Amino acid sequence: MQTFKDRLASLWPGERQTKIAADIDMTMAGFSRIWHEGGLPKAETLRRIKKLKGCSIDWLLTGEGEPFPVRVAEQAYDTLGNPVNIEDFVYVPRYAIEAEAGYGSLVSDEEPLFTMAFPKNWINAMISSDVRELSVIFVKGDSMEGVLNDGDIILVQQINTIRRDGLYVLRVNDNLLVKRLQLMPSNVVNVISANEAYPTFQIQLNNMHEDVQIIGKVLWFGRYL
């Protein structure tokens, strides 16, 4: 049976305790009482979690009901005035966070700017996991120039491992990088830039340090022309 800790962790998949505590404005001492001793936060903290994640406080406390209650929405229309079924789409938060396609930039906690709609059938064909693990962020820098350019936006699936080669977002210290990851023998991963001015480096999946973490896989990108 899920505990409060399990439900809280599910809202921050793969994230460190220090990050969760900072997001909900708790000291590590107070957060440890929740994480390790089965305590519950104050009402103010519960409201902060609801505001950040949009979840039900009843579900968060008890596990009963739906984590994300469905709201009745008004009829939506396309640009030609034709009615659109909003249930045909997944609405992904877009953040003013930059994944540096270079040496990395410091990322601070951000509220979503807005949401972007993606066809649900298209999303379901690409991923089988929870759509809450999706987010849209910006690309900055020139190390992936020609593949991902400065100013591109990317749809990222939050996963903390690599199952096949592709474009991924990873955290190095407090910086986010977007790179091509290539699986090698012995669980070694080459971290490759498209721009040859940026050298390739390696990470070892069996010996990941706390200052290096795979954040997610890039599923799609968009570009202004």
Task: Note whether 12 and 123 are same-domain residues.
Answer: no
Q: What is the extent of the structural domain holding 42? A: 4-62
Instruction: State whether 46 and 135 are in the same domain.
Output: no
For 125-161, the pLDDT digits (tens) are: 888 777 888 999 989 889 999 999 999 999 999 888 8
CA distance 151 to 77: 29
Q: Report the CATH number at residue 155.
A: 2.10.109.10
The answer to the question of residue 144 being in a domain is: yes
CA 101 to chain centre: 17
Pairwise CA distance, residues 165 & 163, whole Å: 7
Instruction: Please indicate, yes or no, if residue 16 is contained in any of the structural domains.
Output: yes
* Domains of the chain: total: 2
Does 101 map to a domain?
yes
Contact 151, 139 (CB under 8 A): yes
Q: Position of tokens 């997001």? A: 23
- Which has the closest alpha carbon to 19: 114, 144, 158, 119? 158
Is the residue at 68 inside a domain?
Answer: no
Residues 24 and 125 in one domain: no
How high is the mean pLDDT in each 10-residue block of the chain (225 residues)? 88 89 92 91 91 90 85 76 90 81 48 88 84 89 92 91 91 86 93 93 83 89 90
80 shares its domain with 56: no
Q: Are residues 112 and 172 in the same domain?
A: yes
At 71 the pLDDT is 62
- This prediction has a pTM of 0.63
